[in-house]
Structure 1
Amino acid sequence: MRLLENNIQSYDFYIEKENMHDEIAKGLAAPVKTISSKFLYDHRGSELFEMITELEEYYPTRTERSIFNDKIQEITLAVGDVQTLIEYGSGSSNKIKALLHHFTSLKEYVPIDISRDFLFQSSLELAMQFPHITIKAVCGDYTAPLTLPLEPSGKKVIFFPGSTIGNFEPVDVRNFLMKSAQLLDEGDGFLIGVDTKKDLHTLESAYDDKKGVTAAFNLNLLTRMNRELGANFNEEQFEHLAYYNVEKGRIEMHLESQCDQQVIIGEHEFSFREGETIHTENSYKYSIDEFQTMALECGFRPSKVWTDVEEKFSVHYLEK
């Protein structure tokens, strides 16, 4: 633990290079090449994603923000007197500010993210804006087991905005919810954003914008592997691919090889056929009933749900 300011502490639990090399090598050696979406978020990837959230086509962030703006009093009342607020994948922490302003009994905020620089920079900014709140910035993988530096008493609430839950396979969603429940006591809560099912055009446009920002975000993964793992990907020989898989109820993002080629990462060599892809992200969409049913199976009681008028997005408050 390091003390960065009077009201901010930093904890670094993430061994980035070792984890990244082993996981990526395993994923590229699989019959269907896959890389976890968490590796999209280095510092540049995080910057690009923040740009994506402001795009005309990308409705989730804008719609979720409008729900929080319109319903913040109801959300504050539903959550109650929370002392500890834990945020998974905090990124720039833009969405947390409304909660930090309205949760007047809050004593500590615990943001968790694997993008080390982005996490500590945003935590320092929040520390100056909210000097009465202790900020415990945790660099770590929130999908892996973590021992968090939490106060032993007081109500705890986990905040997981942005429909990042959609990046998990359904079986992993259940495991994740059950693991999250273990951090909480009875009566504690989970405030989570979940994207809903909707028309094909709206979904696919959100993940393949006209300006090409999402393509740059996806292709940045190759740049990161070249820089951090000594790989030799030629970015011009891959293209961004995104489409909605109706049968599985998810958006899929891929990097598609434009030719037959070989790529070396350390001591590993990987062959790509023309048209073969690296599957880099899924984004599952859930109806309100589908998600609440999963939550019930995992130790949570659905308490409240808020949506926009068109029900493009939903925000759920679950209680353990």
Structure 2
Amino acid sequence: MFEEIDDNLQDDFEVSSTQRDNDFAQALLAGLSKKKKSIPCRFFYDGRGSELFEEITRQPEYYPTRTETAILRACAPEIAQGTPSGAVLIEFGSGSSLKTELLLTALDKLHAYVPIDISHDALAEAKARLSKKFPRIAVRPIAADFSRPVKLDPDLAKRSLLGFFPGSTIGNLEPDAAIDLLKTMRRVLSPEGRLIIGADLRKDEKRLLAAYNDEAGVTAAFNRNVLVHANRALGTHFDPDRFEHSATYDSEHGRIDMHLVSARSQTVRVLGHDIHFKKGERIHTEHSHKYTIEGFQALARKAGWSPDKVWTDPDRLFSVHELRCP
């Protein structure tokens, strides 16, 4: 269930796009048919959603991206020292691969970089940019869902493997699902691979809430855009202006909960079904779990990893962990 990107795979791109729309349709109808309605957060990232997220990362309230970038810039030389010559860097859910450039610059004896993402467009753009900037490194993209096992080509699998999963995307998953994903990554990187992974840390509630409720309203637009995505891709009839953005902090579970809240009683036509919303009814769109360093390491151990180094910023807002296959 993987495909390596080639310049002449337009037909495959179209098939993959249809598959993604079918996946979206099934998940959307299933989520909105529940008593507690939901839309999986992976459907945030159409073209416009990706643009809005990049804009979120530039908001003054949103600390994770710039903090993790600073940590990676500082720790990249140390990561490089522990990476054998001829190794392969595998990035799970690579997107634009912008943070990856910090590692690629330090890993001057790397053999290949393998970005894994469901977006063909993002992979094609990343391959073109990185091949030009790092001509010594073979860029070998794979279009796939990184939450499922990915089989590497034999010439890559036999080399030393370094995994990369930045952004605290692991926090979007419930603990059991996060453990399952970490197990999947361990199977890809075994027997002696390492994983560099970002994890957002618990902190003052006021600072957390500000990061997900920026004054410019970019996160609100990002949240509503999942409805715009559904309208465009699936022909649904959402009026995004009839839904309000909500981001709250659940102190018991240590996570941000993001919802779209119906501003009025309304009925929306979704894939041949009438979905009814009461005024104030919520659609859950995202969890974002925040960790302690010890808590994240315990999670990693449950997935079979051996935690090693940890890097943080001076204010301990964010953490980057090195995990090793035991």
Same fold, judged at TM 0.5 (above):
yes
**Distance (Å, rounded) in 2 between the aligned partners of 1:308 and 1:82:** 30
Quick one: which of 302, 308, 317 aligns to 2:307?
302
Match of 1:256 in 2: 261
* Residue 120 (structure 2) aligned to one of 107, 116, 121: 116
- Secondary structure of the residue aligned to 2:284 is strand
Q: Specify whether residues 284 and 2 from structure 1 end up closer, same or farther in structure 2 by C-alpha distance, changes over 3 A only.
A: closer
SS at match of 1:316: strand
Q: For 1:204 and 1:55, how far apart are their aligned partners in 2?
A: 13
Contact 2:5 2:140 in 1 (8 A): no
**Mapped contact 1:112–1:140 kept (Cα < 8 A):** yes
Which one of the candidate residues 48, 52, 56 is aligned to 1:52?
56
CA 1:149 to 1:185, structure 2 compared with 1: closer, same or farther past 3 Å?
same
- Aligned counterparts of 2:145 and 2:212: Cα–Cα separation in 1: 24
Alignment of 1:204 with 2:222, yes or no, is no
1:293 is aligned to 298
Unaligned runs of 5+ in 2: none
Give the aligned partner of residue 3 of structure 1: 6
Give the drift of 1:193. Answer: 0.3
**What are structure 1's unaligned runs of at least 5 residues?**
6-10
Q: Distance in 2 between matches of 1:79 and 1:64?
A: 20
Tell me the equivalent position of 1:186: 191
Aligned to 1:107: 111
Query: For the aligned residues, what is the CA RMSD?
Result: 1.9
In 2, Cα distance between equivalents of 1:126 and 1:210: 34
SS of equivalent residue, structure 2 residue 261: strand
Return the alpha-carbon distance in structure 1 between the equivalents of residues 109 and 193 of structure 2.
14
Offset at 1:31?
A: 1.4
Superposed CA deviations along residues 224-273 of structure 1, whole A, max 9, x for unmatched, are 10000000001110011111111111001111110111111222221111
Q: Could you say if the C-alpha distance between residues 82 and 294 of structure 1 is closer, same or farther in structure 2, counting changes exceeding 3 Å?
A: farther
* Displacement of 1:70: 2.1
Matched, 1:195 2:200: yes
- Aligned identity (percent) is 42
Give the C-alpha shift of residue 83 in structure 1.
Answer: 1.4
Q: Please, which of 19, 43, 46 is the counterpart of residue 42 of structure 1? A: 46
Select 1:133's aligned residue among 130, 134, 137.
137
- Partner of 1:54, secondary structure, is coil
Identify the residue that residue 218 of structure 2 maps to in structure 1.
213
CA drift at 1:61: 0.6
**What TM-score comes out, normalization by structure 2 length?**
0.92
In 2, Cα distance between equivalents of 1:26 and 1:169:
19
Find the counterpart in structure 1 of residue 68 from structure 2.
64
Structure 1 counterpart SS, 2:150: coil
1:73-92 pair list within 5 angstroms: 73-81=77-85, 83-92=87-96
Q: Which piece of structure 1 moves more, 145-154 or 222-231?
A: 145-154
Task: Tell me, yes or no, if the aligned pair for 1:78 and 1:304 is still in contact at 8 Å.
Answer: no
Q: Which residue of 2 aligns with 1:8?
A: none
> 1:266/1:289 Cα in 2 relative to 1: closer, same or farther (>3 Å)?
same
Query: How many residue pairs end up in the alignment?
Result: 316
Q: 1:146 to 1:271 in 2, by over 3 A?
A: farther
- Aligned counterparts of 2:150 and 2:42: Cα–Cα separation in 1: 16
2:247 to 242, 247, 251: 242
For the 8 Å contact 1:193–1:316, the answer to whether it is kept is yes
Deviation at 1:105, TM superposition (A): 2.3
1:19 aligns with 23
1:168 aligns with 173
The verdict on how the C-alpha distance between 1:55 and 1:74 changes in structure 2, with shifts beyond 3 A counting, is: same
- What CA distance in whole angstroms lies between the structure 1 residues aligned with 2:116 and 2:273? 31
Alignment check: 8 A CA contact 2:259 2:286 kept: yes
